[in-house]
Amino acid sequence: MNGITIALSKGRIFEETLPLLAAAGIVPLEHPESSRKLIINTNRPDVRVVIVRASDTPTYVQHGAADIGIAGRDVLLEHGGAGLYQPLDLNIARCRMCVAVPVGFDYQQAVRRGARLRVATKYISTAREHFADKGVHVDLIKLYGSMELAPLVGLADAIVDLVSSGNTLLANNLMVVEELMTISSRLIVNQAALKMKHEILQPLIDAFAGAVK
Ligand code: ATP
Ligand code: MG
Protein backbone atom coordinates (compact mmCIF):
# COMPACT_ATOMS: atom_id res chain seq x y z
CA MET A 1 0.00 0.00 0.00
CA ASN A 2 1.23 3.48 -0.94
CA GLY A 3 -0.62 5.18 1.88
CA ILE A 4 -0.53 4.28 5.54
CA THR A 5 -2.37 1.81 7.77
CA ILE A 6 -3.21 2.64 11.39
CA ALA A 7 -3.88 -0.23 13.84
CA LEU A 8 -6.44 0.51 16.55
CA SER A 9 -8.44 -1.63 18.95
CA LYS A 10 -12.12 -0.94 19.24
CA GLY A 11 -13.56 0.36 22.48
CA ARG A 12 -11.78 2.97 24.56
CA ILE A 13 -8.69 3.28 22.36
CA PHE A 14 -10.70 3.81 19.17
CA GLU A 15 -13.00 6.32 20.90
CA GLU A 16 -10.20 8.28 22.55
CA THR A 17 -8.14 8.30 19.33
CA LEU A 18 -10.92 9.91 17.23
CA PRO A 19 -10.15 13.46 18.48
CA LEU A 20 -6.42 12.93 17.80
CA LEU A 21 -7.15 11.71 14.27
CA ALA A 22 -9.46 14.70 13.78
CA ALA A 23 -6.60 17.00 14.78
CA ALA A 24 -4.61 15.44 11.93
CA GLY A 25 -7.53 15.92 9.54
CA ILE A 26 -8.42 12.22 9.49
CA VAL A 27 -12.00 11.00 9.90
CA PRO A 28 -12.81 7.26 9.75
CA LEU A 29 -15.79 6.68 7.45
CA GLU A 30 -17.29 3.92 9.62
CA HIS A 31 -17.47 2.95 13.28
CA PRO A 32 -16.11 -0.54 14.15
CA GLU A 33 -18.92 -1.33 16.63
CA SER A 34 -21.69 -0.77 14.09
CA SER A 35 -20.00 -1.73 10.82
CA ARG A 36 -18.16 -4.85 12.05
CA LYS A 37 -15.61 -4.16 9.34
CA LEU A 38 -11.96 -4.80 10.18
CA ILE A 39 -10.61 -2.44 7.53
CA ILE A 40 -12.07 1.04 7.71
CA ASN A 41 -11.43 3.74 5.14
CA THR A 42 -11.05 7.35 6.10
CA ASN A 43 -11.78 10.70 4.45
CA ARG A 44 -8.19 10.52 3.19
CA PRO A 45 -7.60 8.04 0.38
CA ASP A 46 -4.03 7.48 1.63
CA VAL A 47 -5.02 6.55 5.21
CA ARG A 48 -6.90 3.46 6.42
CA VAL A 49 -7.57 2.01 9.87
CA VAL A 50 -7.43 -1.69 10.77
CA ILE A 51 -9.26 -2.97 13.85
CA VAL A 52 -7.25 -5.43 15.96
CA ARG A 53 -7.36 -6.92 19.44
CA ALA A 54 -5.66 -4.50 21.89
CA SER A 55 -2.91 -6.97 22.77
CA ASP A 56 -2.23 -7.64 19.05
CA THR A 57 -1.56 -4.01 18.08
CA PRO A 58 2.25 -4.12 18.64
CA THR A 59 2.47 -7.32 16.58
CA TYR A 60 0.78 -5.77 13.53
CA VAL A 61 3.03 -2.71 13.72
CA GLN A 62 6.21 -4.70 14.42
CA HIS A 63 5.68 -6.75 11.25
CA GLY A 64 4.70 -3.74 9.16
CA ALA A 65 1.13 -4.98 8.55
CA ALA A 66 0.25 -1.59 10.03
CA ASP A 67 2.57 1.42 9.86
CA ILE A 68 1.48 2.93 13.14
CA GLY A 69 -0.81 2.01 16.00
CA ILE A 70 -1.89 2.92 19.49
CA ALA A 71 -1.25 0.56 22.40
CA GLY A 72 -1.35 0.67 26.18
CA ARG A 73 1.85 0.65 28.23
CA ASP A 74 0.61 -2.63 29.75
CA VAL A 75 0.43 -4.26 26.31
CA LEU A 76 3.79 -2.80 25.20
CA LEU A 77 5.58 -4.09 28.29
CA GLU A 78 4.28 -7.61 27.69
CA HIS A 79 5.14 -7.42 23.98
CA GLY A 80 8.66 -6.13 24.63
CA GLY A 81 8.61 -3.33 22.04
CA ALA A 82 10.95 -4.96 19.48
CA GLY A 83 10.91 -3.18 16.10
CA LEU A 84 8.78 -0.36 17.44
CA TYR A 85 9.49 3.32 17.67
CA GLN A 86 7.47 4.91 20.50
CA PRO A 87 7.55 8.66 19.89
CA LEU A 88 4.57 9.82 21.96
CA ASP A 89 2.66 9.17 25.14
CA LEU A 90 -0.88 10.08 24.09
CA ASN A 91 -2.20 10.33 27.64
CA ILE A 92 -5.37 8.38 26.73
CA ALA A 93 -6.90 5.18 28.21
CA ARG A 94 -5.36 6.07 31.55
CA CYS A 95 -5.46 3.69 34.49
CA ARG A 96 -3.12 2.06 37.02
CA MET A 97 -1.66 -1.43 37.16
CA CYS A 98 -2.20 -2.74 40.68
CA VAL A 99 -1.98 -5.73 42.97
CA ALA A 100 -5.38 -6.45 44.53
CA VAL A 101 -6.46 -8.98 47.15
CA PRO A 102 -9.72 -9.90 48.90
CA VAL A 103 -10.67 -7.42 51.63
CA GLY A 104 -9.30 -8.89 54.87
CA PHE A 105 -6.36 -10.73 53.29
CA ASP A 106 -3.19 -9.54 55.07
CA TYR A 107 -0.98 -8.97 52.02
CA GLN A 108 1.86 -7.18 53.84
CA GLN A 109 2.04 -9.99 56.36
CA ALA A 110 2.01 -12.70 53.65
CA VAL A 111 4.84 -10.87 51.84
CA ARG A 112 6.85 -10.39 55.09
CA ARG A 113 6.61 -14.04 56.08
CA GLY A 114 8.06 -14.98 52.70
CA ALA A 115 4.99 -17.00 51.81
CA ARG A 116 4.60 -18.19 48.23
CA LEU A 117 1.91 -16.02 46.73
CA ARG A 118 -0.39 -17.29 43.99
CA VAL A 119 -0.97 -14.40 41.58
CA ALA A 120 -3.42 -14.50 38.68
CA THR A 121 -2.88 -12.04 35.84
CA LYS A 122 -2.94 -11.30 32.14
CA TYR A 123 0.42 -9.50 32.61
CA ILE A 124 2.76 -12.40 33.36
CA SER A 125 6.08 -10.79 32.46
CA THR A 126 5.33 -7.44 34.14
CA ALA A 127 4.12 -9.24 37.27
CA ARG A 128 7.13 -11.58 37.29
CA GLU A 129 9.52 -8.64 37.16
CA HIS A 130 7.64 -6.74 39.87
CA PHE A 131 7.67 -9.58 42.41
CA ALA A 132 11.24 -10.56 41.56
CA ASP A 133 12.35 -6.96 42.31
CA LYS A 134 10.60 -7.22 45.69
CA GLY A 135 12.06 -10.63 46.40
CA VAL A 136 8.59 -12.13 46.73
CA HIS A 137 8.11 -15.73 45.60
CA VAL A 138 5.10 -16.10 43.33
CA ASP A 139 3.30 -18.72 41.32
CA LEU A 140 1.94 -16.86 38.32
CA ILE A 141 -1.32 -18.02 36.79
CA LYS A 142 -2.06 -16.74 33.30
CA LEU A 143 -5.61 -15.53 32.68
CA TYR A 144 -7.11 -13.73 29.70
CA GLY A 145 -9.83 -11.75 31.48
CA SER A 146 -12.07 -11.38 34.56
CA MET A 147 -9.04 -11.55 36.85
CA GLU A 148 -11.24 -10.39 39.75
CA LEU A 149 -12.85 -13.79 39.91
CA ALA A 150 -9.66 -15.72 40.64
CA PRO A 151 -9.22 -14.84 44.36
CA LEU A 152 -12.95 -15.27 44.98
CA VAL A 153 -12.93 -18.92 43.96
CA GLY A 154 -9.54 -19.88 45.38
CA LEU A 155 -7.57 -19.87 42.14
CA ALA A 156 -5.18 -17.19 43.46
CA ASP A 157 -4.34 -15.12 46.54
CA ALA A 158 -3.89 -11.92 44.57
CA ILE A 159 -4.30 -10.46 41.10
CA VAL A 160 -2.31 -7.99 39.04
CA ASP A 161 -4.79 -6.02 36.98
CA LEU A 162 -5.66 -2.60 35.61
CA VAL A 163 -7.73 -0.34 37.82
CA SER A 164 -9.42 2.90 36.86
CA SER A 165 -12.41 3.79 39.05
CA GLY A 166 -11.97 0.80 41.36
CA ASN A 167 -15.68 -0.02 41.05
CA THR A 168 -15.12 -3.53 39.74
CA LEU A 169 -12.79 -4.33 42.65
CA LEU A 170 -15.27 -2.86 45.12
CA ALA A 171 -18.17 -4.86 43.65
CA ASN A 172 -16.14 -8.05 44.15
CA ASN A 173 -14.89 -7.25 47.65
CA LEU A 174 -11.29 -6.75 46.54
CA MET A 175 -8.90 -3.93 47.38
CA VAL A 176 -5.71 -2.45 45.95
CA VAL A 177 -2.65 -3.20 48.09
CA GLU A 178 0.07 -2.02 45.75
CA GLU A 179 0.45 0.10 42.62
CA LEU A 180 2.98 -1.08 40.03
CA MET A 181 2.71 1.82 37.59
CA THR A 182 0.44 4.27 35.86
CA ILE A 183 -0.75 3.23 32.41
CA SER A 184 -1.60 5.26 29.34
CA SER A 185 -1.53 4.56 25.63
CA ARG A 186 1.31 5.40 23.29
CA LEU A 187 1.77 5.94 19.61
CA ILE A 188 3.86 3.15 18.11
CA VAL A 189 5.49 3.32 14.71
CA ASN A 190 7.11 0.65 12.55
CA GLN A 191 10.79 1.63 12.32
CA ALA A 192 11.14 0.92 8.60
CA ALA A 193 7.87 2.70 7.78
CA LEU A 194 9.07 5.80 9.60
CA LYS A 195 11.89 6.08 7.06
CA MET A 196 10.00 4.92 3.95
CA LYS A 197 6.77 6.85 4.63
CA HIS A 198 8.22 9.79 6.49
CA GLU A 199 6.31 12.32 4.37
CA ILE A 200 2.94 10.97 5.50
CA LEU A 201 3.87 9.84 9.01
CA GLN A 202 5.77 12.83 10.34
CA PRO A 203 2.89 15.35 9.92
CA LEU A 204 0.60 12.81 11.59
CA ILE A 205 2.95 12.40 14.55
CA ASP A 206 3.28 16.19 14.82
CA ALA A 207 -0.50 16.68 14.74
CA PHE A 208 -0.95 14.03 17.46
CA ALA A 209 1.75 15.68 19.56
CA GLY A 210 0.01 19.02 19.24
CA ALA A 211 -3.35 17.52 20.25
CA VAL A 212 -2.09 15.66 23.33
CA LYS A 213 -3.35 17.31 26.48
P1 ATP B 1 -10.23 -7.20 25.50
O2 ATP B 1 -11.19 -6.23 26.16
O3 ATP B 1 -10.48 -7.41 24.04
O4 ATP B 1 -10.00 -8.44 26.29
P5 ATP B 1 -8.35 -5.39 26.43
O6 ATP B 1 -8.98 -5.42 27.77
O7 ATP B 1 -6.85 -5.44 26.38
O8 ATP B 1 -8.83 -6.51 25.48
P9 ATP B 1 -9.46 -2.79 26.18
O10 ATP B 1 -10.36 -3.06 27.33
O11 ATP B 1 -10.00 -2.06 24.99
O12 ATP B 1 -8.84 -4.12 25.63
O13 ATP B 1 -8.20 -2.03 26.74
C14 ATP B 1 -7.28 -1.44 25.86
C15 ATP B 1 -6.24 -0.70 26.66
O16 ATP B 1 -6.86 0.32 27.43
C17 ATP B 1 -5.50 -1.57 27.68
O18 ATP B 1 -4.39 -2.19 27.08
C19 ATP B 1 -5.11 -0.55 28.72
O20 ATP B 1 -3.92 0.13 28.36
C21 ATP B 1 -6.27 0.43 28.70
N22 ATP B 1 -7.29 0.11 29.72
C23 ATP B 1 -7.74 -1.11 30.07
N24 ATP B 1 -8.67 -1.04 31.04
C25 ATP B 1 -8.81 0.26 31.32
C26 ATP B 1 -9.63 1.01 32.20
N27 ATP B 1 -10.48 0.40 33.02
N28 ATP B 1 -9.56 2.34 32.17
C29 ATP B 1 -8.72 2.98 31.34
N30 ATP B 1 -7.91 2.33 30.48
C31 ATP B 1 -7.94 1.00 30.46
MG1 MG C 1 -10.83 -4.82 28.56
Q: Given this model, what pLDDT does residue 92 score?
A: 98
CA of residue 42 to ligand 1 center, whole Å: 24
For the cut 90, the answer to whether the pLDDT of residue 63 exceeds it is yes
184 CA: nearest ligand 1 atom: 20
Segments of the chain assigned to CATH 3.40.190.10: 4-93+184-212, 95-183
Cα(68) to ligand 1 centroid in Å equals 19
Q: What integer pLDDT is reported at residue 1 of this predicted model? A: 74
Q: Within 6 Å (CB) of ligand 1, which residues are found?
A: 9, 11-13, 53-55, 72, 74-75, 93-95, 145, 162, 164, 183, 185
With 0.75 as the threshold, say if the pTM is over it.
yes
User: In CATH, what number does 4-93+184-212 get?
Assistant: 3.40.190.10
Buried b / exposed e along 45-74 (16+ C-beta atoms within 10 A): eebbbbbbebbbbbbbbbeeebbbbbbbbb
Question: How many of the other CB atoms lie within 10 Å of CB of 164?
Answer: 12
Q: Phi, psi (5° rounding) for residue 70? A: -130, 125
The CATH number of 95-183 is: 3.40.190.10
Q: What is the pLDDT of residue 190?
A: 98
